[in-house]
Amino acid sequence: MSADAKAQGQTQFNVRLPADLKTRLETYAQLVGRSQAMVASEALADYLDWRIPQIEALKQAIAAADRGEFASADEVAAFFKAYET
C-alpha cells in the first residue's frame, strides 16, 4: 500500500472474482480511465449506500410486525382510496 493510500485512511483486502466479472471490471476501468481498485471501491460504496438502509428498514419493519404493529383495515382502505382514479 502506498504512503498516499495510508494517509487517506485506506486499507486493503483481497476479493476473488469470477473471471467474467474481472474482465468486465478491467474493461470498465479502461473505458473511464480509472484504476480497477478505484472502480471497485466506488461500486462497493454505491452498493452499500443502497443496501444498508434497505436492510435496516427491513429489520425495523420485521420488528414492528413482531410487536403486532400492523395497519388497520380502515388505514389500508384509506391508503388505496387515495390512489383511485
Report the range of poorest mean pLDDT among 2-6, 34-38, 55-59: 2-6
- Cβ(35)–Cβ(29) below 8 Å: yes
User: pLDDT tens-digit profile of 39-56?
Assistant: 999 999 999 999 999 999
Q: Bigger pLDDT: 72 or 5?
A: 72
Distance CA 43, CA 48 (A): 9
Which band of pLDDT confidence, cut at 50, 70 and 90, is reported for residue 78? very high
